[in-house]
Amino acid sequence: MNEATTQTTWSEANQRYLVAEFARLRSRMTDSGVQEAEGRSVDEARAALPAPAAIDVLAERFGLSVFERDVLLLCAGVDMNADLAKRCAEAQGLSQRTSVTFGLALARLQDAHWDALTPVAPLRRWRLLEIDETGGLTNGRLRLDERILHYLAGVNYLDPRLRPLLRHKPVATMMAEGQRDIAATVRTTLESRRTSVVVLTDDDSEGQADIAAQVAYELGLHLQILAAQTLPANVAELEALGILWQRESVLLNAALLIECQDRDGAKQVPAFVEQLGGLVFLAGPEPPTVSRPALRVEVNKPEPVDRQALWKEALGQAAAHLNGSLDAVASQFRLSAQRILTTGREIRDEVLGASQPDAVVWRACRKAGRAKLDDLAQRIDPQADWEMLVLPEPQRETLRHMTAHVRHRLAVYHEWGFASRGLRGLGITALFAGESGTGKTMAAEVLANELQLDLYRIDLSSVVSKYIGETERNLRRVFDAAEDSGAILLFDEADALFGKRSEVKDSHDRYANIEVSYLLQRMEAYRGLAILTTNMKAALDHAFQRRLRFVVQFPFPDLAQREAIWRGIFPPATPLEKLDFAKLARVQMAGGNIRNIALNAAFLAAQAGEPVRMAHLLDAARAEAGKRDRPLSEAETKGWV
C-alpha cells in the first residue's frame, strides 16, 4: 500500500473515530442509558485505525487528562456534529444551538477537574482553546482554535499566523562529504546528550541549513527556518510567538532553525530560545550565546576536494568534457554545495555543447560569486595585459610568481599538505608600493586578466566608520563575500586603513587598534588574492608588513620606460602623425599622467578634425602639469613643435 493510500485509509478511519467519540459525548448529555454501547463503538473505531487518531496524538503530546481530552472533543463536536450541538443546547436548557461552556463540561463529563482551564494548564497554555470570560469562567463560551479543529479532523498544516515568518527547508539532494560527516556527528551527539540546542557557526549559511535539515530528517522531523530579525521586540509578542511555534513543532514534528546573519538583528534570540522546547538550531557567522546547554559546531564552505566532487555530481556527464579543469575551479571558487548544485544544473547543457567547456564553467562561477560583493565594492573591468604593463623585469617576475601561487593552491595546500599545518598564512597577499600613476592598479588588472578573475576596488570611505565596531563589521562582510567569489581585492591607497597602530590614549584609539588586529588576522586567513596599494610604504604597520607574501615596489619610470609607455599608450585605431616618442619621454611623468595627456590630446585632435600631433600633446601636457602646480620645463618640451 502506497503512502497516499495509507493516508486516505487513516483519514477515513480518523473521521469514523471522531463520529464514535461524538456519539459517546452525546450520550453524556442525556440520561438515556446508552453510554456503554457508545463506548463499545469507540473501541471498535479505535481498533480499525492504522495509526493513532489525531485526538489521541494531541492528548499524548500535550499531556491532556481524560477530562481535558473530552473538553476538546466536545468543542469540536459542537462545530462538526449538529446532533451533539443540539444535545448540548438542551442540556443547558436552551432551545437552539449554542457553544460549550466550562460549566456544562464540569457537569456532564467524566473525571472533571476545575484546574483544567487555568492559564498554565495545557488547554490554555498551548492555545488549544479560548474562553470568553465575559460571562464568568463557568458560563463563558469555549471556542476551539481553528488550527486544532482542522488537526482533529485529519488536516495538518502550518498555522497561517506563522506562515509569513517561516520557510520549509527540505533535505538537500547533494551535500559535501565533510558536511554529511558533521550531520552524522550532530545526530549521534543529540541522541546521547541531554541538549536540544545546536549552534552552527562560521561562513557557510547554506551548508548550515543543509546539515540542520539532514539531522532533523534522521530524527524524524521536518525543518522550518526563521530569520532572527523577524522576532518581535515586545516581550508579550515574543512569548506568544514562542508558544505558537512550540505548538506547531509538536503538531508538525518539526525542528526550528533560527538564522542569525546579523548580530544586531539577533538580540531577541536568547530570550526566545529560552522558552522553546524541541530541537532548535542557531546558525550564522557568530550566533548569539544562549543560557541553555548547546552543542556548538563549525560549518565552513566545503574544502576544495569536496567541492571538486560536488561539481562532478552537479554536472553529471558534462564533467567529462572539462579535461581536468575542475581542479582550478574547486580551488578558486569557495561556493556552497547548493550554489554548486544550482550552477551546475544551469550550465550542464551549455557545457555539453560548448567548444570551450572550461570557459563556460569558469564564467558561471564568477557570476555566481558576484551577488554579495557587487553591493560592497566596485567591480573593475580589467583591460590591461602584460604588453601594456611597463615595469622592470624583477617586478614583472614577482607578478608572474603571484599568478603561479593562485593557480596551484589546491596542489600545494591540500595535496601536498600545507593546509593541514594551519590556516594562517594561506592567503595570497601583496603590497604594491609606489607613487601615484606608476602602474599599481594596471598591474592588478593584468593579474585579473591573466587569472580570469573579477577585480574589485574597495572604497575605503564606505568601509572605515567613525562608529566603534562598524569598520570591523564592514571588513568582515567584504572578506566573506570575496572568499565566496574568488575575486581579487584591491585596497587602493591602503595606508589610510592599514596605518601604524596608534598609541592608546582613549577608548577610540584602543578600538582602532582592535580593528587593525582583526584586519591582520583576516588577511592571514583570507584564501583569495588581496592587493594593497600605497604611496607611503613606511606608513604601514610593521606587523602587517611581516604578513605580506609579496611586496612589489613600483619605481618612477626612467626615460626608456617612459618611451615604452608612450609607444603603447595609443590604441591601434587612433590616427597619429609625426609623433616623436623619444622627445615625449623627456617629460618626467608617471604612466597615469601619460595616459591622461594622451587621452586629452586625442580629444583636442578630434575637435580639430586632425590626427593626433605633437602640438596637441604639448597643450595636453601643459594642462596635466598645471594640475600638479609644476610647469613643464623648456628642456622637457624642446623640439615638440
For residue 563, the domain's CATH number is 1.10.8.60
Selected residue with higher pLDDT from 210 and 131: 210
- Rounded CA-CA distance 570/577 in Å is 12
Q: Give the end of a domain, one of 503, 536, 554.
A: 554
Q: Supply the CATH number for residue 393's domain.
A: 3.40.50.300
pLDDT at 567 over 90: yes
On whether both 550 and 588 belong to a single domain, the answer is no
Look at residue 340 and tell me if it is in a domain: yes
Report CA dihedral (461, 466, 469, 475) to the nearest 10 degrees. Answer: 10
DSSP conformational letter for 413: I
Domain-embedded: residue 159:
no
Query: What is the rounded distance in angstroms from the CA atom of residue 520 to the CA atom of residue 497?
Result: 11
Q: Quick check: 322 and 351 in contact, CB under 8 A?
A: yes
Residue 254, classed as helix, strand or coil, is: strand
The tally of domains found in the chain comes to 5
Cβ-Cβ contacts under 8 Å for 427 (sequence gap 6 or more): 523, 524, 525, 526, 527, 528, 530, 549
Compute φ and ψ for 298, nearest 5 degrees.
Answer: -85, 130
In terms of Cα–Cα distance, which of 240, 253, 250 is closest to 130? 240
Same domain, 406 and 343: no
Q: Give 387-421 pLDDT, tens digit per residue.
A: 889 999 999 999 999 999 888 876 787 678 776 66
Residue 530 domain-assigned (yes or no): yes
CA-angle at 338, arms to 336 and 343, nearest 5°: 95
**Domain co-membership, 263 together with 282:** yes
Q: What percent of the chain has pLDDT over 90?
A: 54
**Per-residue cell: 78:** 459542537
d(CA 123, CA 630): 87
In this structure, are residues 286 and 298 in contact, taking their beta carbons and an 8 Å threshold? no
* 100 and 180 part of one domain: no
Kindly tell me if the per-residue pLDDT of 597 is higher than 70.
yes
Radius of gyration of the chain (CA): 36
Q: How many residues does this entry show for the chain?
A: 641
In a domain, 158, yes or no: no
Whether 375 is in a domain gets the answer: no
**Mean pLDDT taken over the chain:** 86
Same domain, 356 and 407: no
Among 255, 280, 298, where does a domain finish? 298
350 and 289 in one domain?
Answer: no
CA nearest neighbour of 575 among 612, 520, 626: 612
Do 8 and 130 reside in the same domain of the chain? yes
Enter the pTM of the model: 0.81
Where does a domain end: 265, 281, 298? 298
Task: Note whether residue 160 is domain-resident.
Answer: no
Domain span at residue 617 reads 559-637
Phi, psi (5° rounding) for residue 567? -65, -25
Give per-residue pLDDT as tens, 355-368. 999 999 999 998 88
- E strands, 310-465, in order: 378-380, 428-434, 455-458
To which residue does cell 554548486 refer? 340
Is pLDDT above 90 for 230? yes
The closest of 549, 512, 518, 517 to 532, measured between CA atoms, is 549
Instruction: Count CB atoms within 10 A of the CB of residue 224.
Output: 23
220 and 107 in one domain?
A: no
* Same domain assignment for residues 243 and 291: yes
Same-domain status, 34 and 116? yes
Task: For residue 134, tell me if it sits in a domain.
Answer: yes
Do residues 112 and 228 share a domain?
A: no
The mean pLDDT of 551-558, rounded to a whole number, is 92
Q: Is residue 252 located within the same domain as residue 351?
A: no
497 part of a folded domain: yes
Cβ 110 vs Cβ 116: under 8 Å: no
CB 389 within 8 A of CB 396: yes
